[in-house]
Structure 1
Amino acid sequence: MKPYHQIPIIECGEPFTKIPLELFAVESPHPYEKLGATYGELSPYCLRQTVVEYLIQAQNYLQLLYPGWYIQIFDGYRPVAVQQFMVDYSFATEVEARGLSGEELSPQQSQEIWQGVYEIWAVPSLDPKTPPPHSTGAAVDVTLVNDQGMVVDMGSPIDEMSERSLPNYYANSTQPQAQNYHNHRQILRDVMLKAGFQRNPKEWWHFSFGDQMWAWLHNQSHPHNPVIARYSRLF
Structure 2
Amino acid sequence: MTPGGTGRSSDARARAAQTKRDRTRRALLDAADAHFGARGWNRTRMEDVAATAGVSPATAYNHFPSKHALIGHVYRPLVLSLVGQAEQDRRAGRPVVDALRDQLEALARTSWRHRGLTGAFWYAAQDYVATRVGRPPDPDVPGDPGDPRTLAPVPDTLLGLLRDGQASGQLRRYPPAAEISGVVVDTLLVRAVNRPHEPPEQTAELLLTVLFGTLKPELLCAVGVDERPFAGGH
Shorter-chain TM-score tier: under 0.3
TM-score of the pair, normalised by structure 1: 0.25
Higher strand residue share: 1
TM-score of the pair, normalised by structure 2: 0.25
